[in-house]
Structure 1
Amino acid sequence: MLTSQTRQKFAIYGLMFLPGFTWASWVSRTPVMRDSLSATTEMMGLILFGFSCGSMFGVFITGKLIAWIGTRRNILYGILVLLAGVVTLMLGLEEQSRALTFISLMLLGAGTGMVDIVVNVEGAAFEQTLSKSIMTVIHGFFSLGTLVGALAGMAMTALDISTLYHFTGVLAVIVAMTAIVLRHFPTASAQAHADNPPTGSFTAQVMRELRDRQLLILGVVILAMALAEGSANDWLPLIMIDGHNLGHTASTLVYVGFTAGMTAGRFLGGYLVDRLGRVWMLRASAVSAAVGLVIVIFVDQPWLVGAAVLFWGIGASLGFPLTVSAAAEGGNSAVRVTIAATLGYFAFLVGPPFLGFLGEHAGLRLAMLPVLVMVLLALFCSGSAKKAQTA
């Protein structure tokens, strides 16, 4: 018989799995989406920007919504928006409508942002009640969701299954998992808020926390590492097709390799952080991501590029959860986590569409150069996570 605490922990894991699964499900079909919509690389960048716009909207409003209606209702609304996005995407692709597809990605982005922020806030609070680091595992379930979604997408592509049937299955998974785990979702953040109530409006709390120099430097790290993750999630299949001349199925297989690296890095990350420390793991992650990016950008041998995405994925895996965990150690944990996660989402979502514009003129491989520069910057800023390395 599972204890209440164990059920709450697995509810967090399950709800973090869903946005990753949904995300990879449609990302794995971006080559099909591009062909169906007859879109150029630049046009695909504009369409993908819908996801970024929706996500940033979801991220920005979620902090205030948590204060108004709590985390449980907030995550339910996020799931409903996510479902609406999948339905609209199905309609957009069936009608071959770029505008409707753009709107669908806005809804998917808003739902993903809402769910992700709530789980990060609640996960950070729950982590502190356990006195045990679980943030890397929480994000590991997001990556596991992307891995499962990517594998399903690869199978659907190989079997030439239409996006209509594929995304109908995605809808069924979201509804079934939400019905199972939502009732066990914890509310540790509400208890922390009651024990140490913040003063001032939400905006005043944010401005007060932004005066913390360590939090700002942590923001640079999360900006860089989230960009490394987001650029692969949005562009890796197309990089493999346009930049390395792979087919649709092979390009999706490479993306599966990236998500496998992300998943492995996050599930093993907590064990390694406890032994090597947060700073050294962040530095190792930045080096690994840089090595992978260098090979993808400058090397022409497909087998070596396929191996390199594992380094890229493993390297990008720990930046987001470790910086969120470090940010949560301040006094106003919910606001600090919201700030850190928002910065991560900004790079994760706004950066990749910009790379699409760059890729239209310089090629998608060279468009990854700014990502490489940011990862190297994160390497030099990783010391900002030194405080409370045992967390």
Structure 2
Amino acid sequence: MYAALLSIIYVAFVSLGLPDSLVGAGWPVMHKDLGVPLAFAGIVTMVIASGTILSSLASDRLTRRFGAGLVTATSVGMTAAALIGFSLSDQFWMICLWAIPYGLGAGAVDAALNNYVALHYAARHMNWLHSFWGVGASISPFIMSYALTSGQGWSGAYRTVGLIQVVLTVALVATLPLWRRVDTLRAPDAADVPPEPQADDAAPLSLARALRIPGVAPVLVAFFAYCALETTAMVWASTYLVTERAVDPATAAAFASLFLLGVTGGRFLAGFVADRIGDRLLIRWGFTTVGLGTVMVLLPLGTDVVALAGLVIAGLGCAPIYPAIIHSTPANFGRENSQAIIGVQMAAAYVGSTLAPPLFGLLSSGVGTWTFPVFLTALAVLGLVMSQRLNAVVDQHRRPEATRATA
């Protein structure tokens, strides 16, 4: 039963990664067909990000009322409808309109699935699941490329991914009874998180109360720092290598993509040791490795080999951080608080991913793109310091009553 549902969740993570790269991959063509400037991609991503933040914050209330299975199925259905809506759009305002249900669905399913896995499955599965998300995110540019070269246009790519999401929605609806059965049991390899009193289960945790739980503030800053670092590296690495290192654009693009492949491959490898090492060490070693990689990029050496290798090492360091922070949430804050706090963490993640790349763009325009590795190193240090602060706070409040929000 656990294995059957876990298989569905693995497929869901691959499918959820598919749409995430479509806008970036297709926008050079889309903006021309829609008759808008290239910079309007930022408007679309901001609409999507706003929806994801709102639905992440509402995930605790939704999941408590409807269950993780139904929230996941409904959210994937919203995403499928939005993607098909994209494929039928011929005006920019239509793209923005469909971006609303896309963002709402993406945020809700992200928070619900991550919390469900954190509660019911071991740390290795959390790493492997996020590795599978990377597989989906890596495949979607190829789907867009095939659609463009085969004459289907960018709408064909959205239609293909939308239909895949429709199939996943049907599969999720069919497995709803299985979700409910697993909810009442404990997986044989689940994390050792003590059960919480059932009296609190029916009361959603408000944002204000969640923020007053000891340790929530530092974990939000750590999560913000990590997602800001990851997205900034993905957006600006190639530009830095070309403008500051005079690396050939094709080589720079290849190594920039290796950063994402390092994240995906690193999560797969981390899954084999996650249960033995534990979430805390994975986070600590992850941020430390990222810092090592970014310092290698920063070194003013006569060769570019060290800088290129540093970018790959930074990707490998990023790999276990996101899954480990999510998986450790029930242990740090209690099972009854985990859905609300994971929702807030997702919101912090989306804020970091949305704001950091344009923030660095402003910094680089005023100071120079040479600040790229400095910017990443500062974020890695901030994430490491805040994650260590979280550990200290949690260790001081190990009693169950201390992990609940104050009235």
TM bucket normalised to smaller: 0.7 to 0.9
Partner residue of 2:324? Answer: 322
Q: Secondary structure at the match of 2:59?
A: helix
Q: 1:352 to 1:297 in 2, by over 3 A?
A: farther
Q: CA deviation at 1:227?
A: 2.0
Q: CA deviation at 1:306?
A: 5.8
Give the TM-score of the pair, scaled to structure 2.
0.76
Q: Secondary structure at the match of 2:200?
A: coil
Partner residue of 1:19? Answer: 16
Q: Secondary structure at the match of 2:318?
A: helix
Partner residue of 2:190? Answer: none
- 1:1-391 equivalences in 2 (<5 Å): 4-33=1-30, 38-41=36-39, 43-92=40-89, 94-95=90-91, 97=92, 99-127=93-121, 133-153=124-144, 162-184=153-175, 186-187=179-180, 188-189=182-183, 196-198=198-200, 201-203=203-205, 207-232=208-233, 254=255, 256-293=257-294, 307-330=309-332, 332-333=334-335, 335-353=337-355, 355-356=357-358, 358-359=360-361, 362-363=364-365, 365=369, 366=371, 370-383=375-388, 384-385=390-391
Higher mean displacement: 139-148 or 7-16: 139-148
Q: CA deviation at 1:201?
A: 3.6
Letter aligned with residue 314 of structure 2: W
Question: For the residues of structure 2 that align with 1:158 and 1:231, how far apart are their CA atoms?
Answer: 29
Question: For the residues of structure 1 that align with 2:375 and 2:8, how far apart are their CA atoms?
Answer: 37
Question: For the residues of structure 1 that align with 2:41 and 2:303, how far apart are their CA atoms?
Answer: 26
Q: Deviations over 1:166-222 (max 9, x none)?
A: 222112222233334553362444668997341674245x55554433343233222
Q: CA deviation at 1:56?
A: 0.7
Structure 1 contact 327–336 (Cα < 8 Å) conserved: yes
Q: CA deviation at 1:6?
A: 0.8
Q: Deviations over 1:258-304 (max 9, x none)?
A: 33212212122132333444333222211333355556688898877
Question: For the residues of structure 1 that align with 2:114 and 2:363, how far apart are their CA atoms?
Answer: 37
Partner residue of 2:189? Answer: none
Structure 1 contact 51–349 (Cα < 8 Å) conserved: no
Q: Identical aligned pairs, as a percentage?
A: 16
- Cα RMSD over matched residues? 3.8
Higher mean displacement: 139-148 or 377-386: 377-386
Structure 2 contact 288–384 (Cα < 8 Å) conserved: yes
Letter aligned with residue 258 of structure 1: F
Q: 1:346 to 1:325 in 2, by over 3 A?
A: same
Q: 1:336 to 1:123 in 2, by over 3 A?
A: same
Question: For the residues of structure 1 that align with 2:248 and 2:79, how far apart are their CA atoms?
Answer: 31
Structure 1 contact 59–342 (Cα < 8 Å) conserved: yes
Q: CA deviation at 1:17?
A: 2.0
Letter aligned with residue 134 of structure 1: H
Q: CA deviation at 1:116?
A: 0.8
**Aligned residue-pair number:** 376
Structure 1 contact 289–375 (Cα < 8 Å) conserved: yes
Q: Secondary structure at the match of 1:186?
A: helix
Q: CA deviation at 1:119?
A: 0.5
Higher mean displacement: 17-26 or 325-334: 325-334
Q: Secondary structure at the match of 1:77?
A: helix
Q: CA deviation at 1:75?
A: 1.3
Structure 2 contact 53–346 (Cα < 8 Å) conserved: no
Q: CA deviation at 1:335?
A: 2.9
Structure 2 contact 22–144 (Cα < 8 Å) conserved: yes
Q: CA deviation at 1:343?
A: 2.4
Give the TM-score of the pair, scaled to structure 1.
0.79
Structure 2 contact 131–268 (Cα < 8 Å) conserved: yes
